[in-house]
Amino acid sequence: MLPPLFAPHDPIFVYRNSPKIATTFRESVDTLKMGKNLVIFPENPTKFSEYVSELYSGFVDIARIYYHQTGKIIKFYPVYVPADIKKIMVGVPIEYNPENDSSHERLRISEYLKIQIDALGRKSGTKKFIPFMRPEFYEFYPEFVNDPASYWSFCNKERSE
């Protein structure tokens, strides 16, 4: 469903757990070097709250690579889009800190964004939660509710068969 929706906007595809992930990072950094912004959807199937799922943290490595190539620091903005009020809510950004260990930065930034997105959702007043996966998915595959790694393994297996 998503590829046709995003195709006109020249999306950068994520090749999670694959040697092609380098392509994702290269295209992302090249896009930033052209002065364009990126919209990243790092949510995984595990719920954090009624407003946001847990976030994969690997996207933060884009900032590390970009900093090493340009010497410039990236800011990450928490964004919440409640469908029922047709409004985009943007929170206070967090800056990548090149002085910190990269694993620390992944955790620090992804945790901050997750908490801020949750706060934006609560502030929106919307009561409508749009889950990462439709509830029917978890009825058929409940083992993936708290195991996103197995979920992605399952998806990759299905594609290869």
Structure tokens that stand for 18 in this block: 């694959």
Q: Which of 49, 7, 16 is nearest to 159 (CA)?
A: 16
* Percent of residues, the chain, with pLDDT higher than 90: 46
Q: Which of 94, 76, 81 is nearest to 129 (CA)?
A: 81
| 61, 102 Cβ separation under 8 angstroms | yes
Sign of CA dihedral 51, 100, 93, 149: negative
Q: Which pTM does this prediction carry?
A: 0.75
Count the Cβ atoms, other than its own, within 10 Å of residue 120: 20
Is the pLDDT at 39 greater than 70? The verdict is: yes
Is the pLDDT at 117 greater than 90? The verdict is: yes
Is the pLDDT at 72 greater than 60? The verdict is: yes
Q: What's the average model confidence in pLDDT over 48-70?
A: 93
